[in-house]
Structure 1
């Protein structure tokens, strides 16, 4: 029976990778001078290790703000029906008021497209 060499699966999720990095760093610190990671030429865990905490804190902060963002969008969405109704009715009144020159609605911040509609062709 042959043994598999094992396949390393590194996640695409930054949080999971930060957690793995923290575990590696913790084990490296635990082993001290006996850590095999001291053999790495291009990696200095004395420099890289502390960056993990910074990355984890940034992730935690981002997740907090993501939740706050969703709350603010929900608060905004509660206001939108009344605002949308007011905008539509106001535009209708202004359009009737400026019936001969609808481009005057642009003075009110309303985008006016007076180009003729193109005919759609059926495939």
Structure 2
């Protein structure tokens, strides 16, 4: 009978890895002193195992907030065209009102750059 060596593929997904870690830890706890994992010298499931559940909670909360963040950005983005249009119209009106002294736009929170524009350098072929 041919036996395969068996290939273990560890996921790159943190949630999947936490789920596997929890299963290993649960099995380790159920076996108690007879668990083969007790021989690991530089790692202790007794120390690290209890960290799995709060880490999973942190992951789930982060994923929830990621979804909430995306909703908030979508709401923001839906309103931005109207607001930007109002800003542009207001700036145009204020520029016309203060045409003799455009620096007064700074009183309205509008940044005014009066430095001369640099001439573009011609591209060399």
TM-score interval, normalised by the smaller of the two chains: 0.7 to 0.9
Question: 98-107 vs 18-27, which deviates more?
Answer: 18-27
Q: Point out where structure 2 has 5 or more consecutive residues left out of the alignment.
A: none
Q: Point out where structure 1 has 5 or more consecutive residues left out of the alignment.
A: none
Which residue in the other structure is 2:25 paired with?
25
Q: TM-score normalised to the size of structure 1?
A: 0.84
Per-residue CA distance 1:93-120 (angstroms, 9 max, x = gap) = 1111111211111111111111222222
Q: TM-score normalised to the size of structure 2?
A: 0.83
Q: What value does the CA root-mean-square deviation take over the aligned residues?
A: 2.1
Q: Which runs of 4+ in 1 moved over 3 A?
A: 3-12
Shift of 1:17: 2.2
Distance in 2 separating the partners of 1:20 and 1:118: 60
Shift of 1:9: 4.0
Provide the aligned length of Structure 1 versus Structure 2. 122
Which residue in the other structure is 2:35 paired with?
35
Which residue in the other structure is 1:104 paired with?
104
